[in-house]
Chain A
Amino acid sequence: MMNLEPRNPADFPVDVILYPGHDKAFRRVLEELAQKCPTQFLLLSGVSGQPIACEGEKGETNLAALGALLAGDLAASQEIARLTDQYQSYQMILREGRESTIFLSEAGPFMILFARVDHNVPLGWARILILETCRQLADIASARPDELASLDLGLHEEHLSSLIGDRLDSIWSG
Chain B
Amino acid sequence: MQINWQLRELNLKIVYYGPALSGKTTNLEQIHARVDPIHRSDLVSLKTHEDRTLFFDFLELELGRINNLTPKIHLYTVPGQSYYEASRKLVLRGADGVVFVADSSPEFMHANKVAWGDMNTHLASHGIAPDQVPVVLQCNKQDLVCAVDPETMKNLLNLYNIPTVSAVALHGEGVLETLKLITRGVFTRMQQQQQVCA
Contacts and interface: CB of A to CB of B under 8 A. Distances in A.
A19 B5 contact: yes
> In which size bucket is the chain B interface?
35 or more
A46 B180 CA distance: 25
A171 interface: yes
B111 interface: no
Contacts of B46: 69, 72
A111 B119 CA distance: 25
Contacts of B196: 4-5, 7
Nearest to B175: A172
Given A79-B90, A153-B5, A173 B198 contact: no
A66 to B, nearest CB: 9
Interface in B166-186: 172, 176, 179-180, 183-184
B75 to A, nearest CB: 10
A34 to B, nearest CB: 21
Given A47-B94, A167-B64, A168-B180, A68 B76 contact: yes
B193 A20 contact: no
Contacts of B198: 3-5
A151 to B, nearest CB: 5
Interface of B: 1-6, 8, 10-11, 13, 34-36, 39-42, 44, 46, 55-56, 58, 60-61, 63-64, 66-69, 71-72, 74, 76, 86-87, 89-91, 93-94, 172, 176, 179-180, 183-184, 187-188, 190-191, 193-198
